[in-house]
């Protein structure tokens, strides 16, 4: 392994893979970071303030030489909660759902720009390409795009393998399932079966703040009336672990905490960051450059909800770069 692993982060968010490499002690050079959300860029720059700062950039036409390329293309158009489906109906009308079809112009279709970036690199290619997305990418209409992605990577000389990984198996009390696809240059497939896992996962109470302001109390009738219901308009009381951390906590489907003296509250911004595996120092650095609008700092909730659990990347990189397995 060279002195520093060079990493390229596309749709980089707040730098989950870079945090993972830092946490396991792998010297890293982020040769570039591409993210369109200016507030996420501000948080990223604050978290890595001692290194090169980045501005918002487009992924189109980029040409770099990383050892590892990580992309978690936007999931909204492939998620159950998003707008899935074909880009156009048979009669040519635009459907509400657009999926990740090539040329559809959806956020999720930006996954194909990763293919273009690798193609533009010519003979030199990253050793590993890691793609994370929602589990629904394997289902229904989305499946064809997933299989086409695997096929395109094969044409580029990669052997791909994938698995649905749950953050609860990697030390976090959050039931968050996502598909991780790892494409290895050459004929050797990455095996997921011996990744280091943590069982049982730590308890939710270890991630909660001791004192929480009343601003986080659940007061909306729409949420209170949804307690115990199922479906999209539900509010679930969480105890041992949380469900998927989303970009908003104050609307249904919601997950809420029962307060010791009665009533309910939402998860705080810091708690959501902790549930994604970030340190309190990471959070404090990001919070220092974000402004509260209304009751909450919505940008911090959004950044946590769009992120990838740091501990999953830690396990992947431990095997990939350090040869550590269970």
User: With 50 as the cut, is the pLDDT of residue 259 above it?
Assistant: yes
Asked, for residue 28, whether it belongs to a domain, the answer is: yes
286 lies in some domain: no
d(CA 182, CA 2): 21
Tokens of 77: 């158009």
- Tell me what the mean pLDDT of segment 241-261 comes to: 95
Residue 117: inside a domain: yes
Report, as an integer, the average pLDDT of 23-38: 89
Question: Are 33 and 7 in contact, with CB atoms under 8 Å apart?
Answer: no
Q: Is residue 299 part of a domain?
A: no
Tell me if 288 is assigned to some domain.
no
Q: Do 160 and 270 belong together in one domain?
A: no
Identify the pLDDT of residue 57: 53
The predicted pLDDT at position 214 comes to 96
Q: Are strands 158-166 and 177-185 parallel, antiparallel or unpaired?
A: antiparallel
In a domain, 258, yes or no: yes
Give the count of domains, the chain: 2
* Same domain for 144 and 50: yes
Q: What is the pTM of this model?
A: 0.87
| Whether pLDDT at 77 is above 50 | no
* pLDDT one-digit tens code per residue, 172-208: 999 999 999 999 999 999 999 999 999 777 899 999 9
Long-range contacts of 246-253 (CB under 8 A, 24+ apart): 246/305, 247/301, 247/302, 247/304, 247/305, 247/306, 248/298, 248/301, 248/302, 248/305, 249/296, 249/301, 250/220, 250/223, 250/295, 250/296, 251/220, 251/222, 251/223, 252/222, 252/223, 252/226, 253/226
Do residues 262 and 183 share a domain? no
Is the domain of 236 the same as that of 252?
yes
Asked if residue 214 and residue 89 are part of one domain, the reply reads no
Distances (CA, A) of 258 to 161, 236, 266: 41, 10, 9
Mean pLDDT of 142-169: 96
Helix (H, G, I), strand (E, B) or coil at 134: strand
Residues spanned by the domain of 244: 204-278
- Pair 108, 251 in one domain: no
* CATH at 59: 3.40.50.150
> Per residue in 104-132, pLDDT tens?
454 456 788 899 989 988 888 999 999 99
């Amino acid at each position: 392994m060279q002195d520093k692993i060079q990493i390229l982060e596309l749709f980089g968010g707040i730098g989950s893979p870079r945090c993972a490499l830092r946490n396991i002690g792998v010297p890293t050079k982020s040769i570039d970071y591409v993210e369109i959300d200016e507030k996420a860029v501000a948080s990223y720059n604050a978290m890595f303030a001692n290194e090169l700062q980045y501005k918002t950039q487009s992924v189109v036409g980029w040409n770099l030489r990383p050892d590892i390329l990580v992309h978690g293309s936007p999931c909204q158009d492939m998620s159950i909660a998003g707008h899935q489906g074909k880009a156009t109906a048979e009669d040519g009308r635009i459907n509400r759902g657009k999926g990740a079809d090539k040329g559809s112009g959806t956020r999720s279709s930006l996954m194909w720009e990763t293919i273009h970036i690798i193609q533009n690199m010519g003979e030199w290619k990253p050793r590993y390409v890691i793609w994370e997305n929602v589990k629904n990418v394997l289902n229904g209409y989305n499946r064809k795009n997933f299989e086409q992605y695997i096929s395109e990577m094969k044409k580029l000389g990669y052997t791909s393998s994938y698995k649905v990984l749950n953050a609860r198996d990697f030390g976090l009390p959050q039931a968050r399932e996502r598909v991780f696809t790892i494409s290895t240059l050459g004929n050797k497939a990455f095996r997921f079966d011996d990744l280091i896992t943590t069982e049982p996962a730590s308890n939710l109470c270890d991630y909660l703040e001791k004192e929480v302001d009343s601003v986080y109390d659940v007061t909306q009738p729409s949420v209170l009336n949804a307690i115990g219901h199922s479906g999209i308009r539900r509010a679930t009381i969480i105890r041992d672990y949380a469900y998927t951390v989303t970009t908003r906590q104050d609307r249904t489907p919601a997950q809420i905490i029962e307060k010791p003296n009665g009533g309910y509250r939402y998860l705080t911004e810091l708690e959501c960051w902790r549930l994604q595996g970030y340190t309190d120092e990471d959070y404090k650095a990001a919070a220092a450059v974000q402004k509260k609008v209304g009751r909450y700092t919505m940008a911090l909730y959004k950044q946590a909800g769009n992120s990838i659990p740091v501990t999953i990347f830690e396990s992947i990189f431990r095997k990939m770069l350090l040869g550590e397995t269970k």
